[in-house]
Amino acid sequence: MNNVLRQHAEHQFAEELAELAKHDTSQRPPNWNLSPGAVVTYLIGGKLKNSFEVSPKYIGDRRLMEIAVATLTTDRALLLYGLPGTAKSWVAEHLAAAVSGNSTLLIQGTAGTGEEAIRYGWNYARLLAEGPSERALVTTPMFTAMRDGKIARIEELTRISADVQDTLITILSEKLLPIPELNTEVQAVKGFNVIATANNRDKGVNELSGALKRRFNTVILPVPASMNEEIDIVQRRVASLSRTLELPAEAPSMHELRRVVTIFRELRAGLTDDGKTKLKTPSGTMSTAEAISVVNSGLALAAYFGDGQLRAHDVAAGLVGAVVKDPVQDKVVWNEYLETVLKTREDWRDIYRACKEISL
């Protein structure tokens, strides 16, 4: 597994999950690997009685994670909702890993996702040769989760067309999946539930019906509340990715991380950090995930085309790419920010010059 570019959460954090299970004396819901309290500890991080340190997977409001975990103990599914880059998929994966020990039962929502991706499909060669039979049935992650009492994940629920979304109503309300061709059904085993994600930039793409909304408890994941919180998230994720990618670069300085996060937060809020200057906002979301990408791209440049230390000119290319999504509107926003904000900060002149050198 050492050569895998991105391990599943249950493998990457297997030691933490094992330690939590070993010291978990609280009651566990049926088919759960950990108690709800231990799942929250896995997500938020903390120190166990034997001084074992559990790393935080989500940095933010603990209560949100408690609500999310509590939802999975009920008969309602969980919808993680928010701006792109607010760790919805990350939280969903780690929830599934902690609860079921399996985060791979995933359905990726797209405009082309059909009912067969949610319910079941058929091996048509066998279907033509033998007719409808269990051997001709092709199971889906949802089918498997129901049969085995696991957590199924649906990414980008609102990307799926409304008529396909409604396939979930019977599954979530009746906890069964009819198979009329075989005159049978799959009844969900205890422990089964669904975690779906959707971002509010997709509002109006394929709105959930009222009937489907009632089957979900919605938890809104906000952008990081404070500068230090966001820096902590970026620092941890960059360190993790750098280890995985084996980048031969030094860890970025706190000064450089703070500058990147400050730029993202100011452009996202439309206001400078001191609250004195209003700014135009770009068309993109300026998410924490993009800030992580900018730092990682800079580290790659520093590692292979520099001296291994992240500097302003390594960060600049990623910054411009993250901000200027619309070559007309965003170019105006970025240039105004450079001239009215970055240029005026004495210890930011290097990043101002590096950004100015990049032609748009």
Predicted confidence (pLDDT) per residue in 272-318, tens digit: 999 999 999 998 889 999 999 999 999 999 999 999 999 999 999 89
Residues 67 and 212 in one domain: yes
pLDDT over 90 at 104, yes or no:
yes
The average pLDDT across 234-250 equals 92
pLDDT attached to residue 85: 85
pLDDT-derived band at 202 (thresholds 50, 70, 90) equals: low
Q: Which residue has the higher pLDDT, 202 or 200?
A: 200
pLDDT over 80 at 201, yes or no:
no
Amino acid letter for position 38: A
Residues 6+ apart with CB under 8 A from 18: none
Contact 145, 152 (CB under 8 A): yes
Please identify, among 178, 200, 220, the residue that sits at the C-terminal boundary of a domain: 220
Model confidence, pTM: 0.91
Could you give the number of structural domains in the chain?
A: 2
Please identify, among 220, 248, 263, the residue that sits at the C-terminal boundary of a domain: 220
pLDDT-derived band at 218 (thresholds 50, 70, 90) equals: very high
Query: Of 268, 177, 179, 168, whose CA–CA distance to 211 is shortest?
Result: 168
User: Domain range holding 114?
Assistant: 62-220
Q: Which residue has the tokens 């570019």?
A: 5
pLDDT over 60 at 360, yes or no:
no
pLDDT over 70 at 138, yes or no:
yes
Output the average pLDDT for the chain. Answer: 93
Q: Would residue 243 count as lying in a domain?
A: yes
3-class DSSP state of 310: coil
Please name the residue ranges forming H helices in the chain: 9-12, 14-22, 36-44, 62-72, 88-100, 115-118, 124-130, 141-148, 162-165, 167-174, 210-213, 227-245, 254-269, 288-305, 312-323, 329-340, 349-356
pLDDT over 70 at 125, yes or no:
yes
3-class DSSP state of 78: strand
Residues 67 and 213 in one domain: yes
The average pLDDT across 64-81 equals 97
Residues 166 and 262 in one domain: no
Residues 240 and 347 in one domain: yes
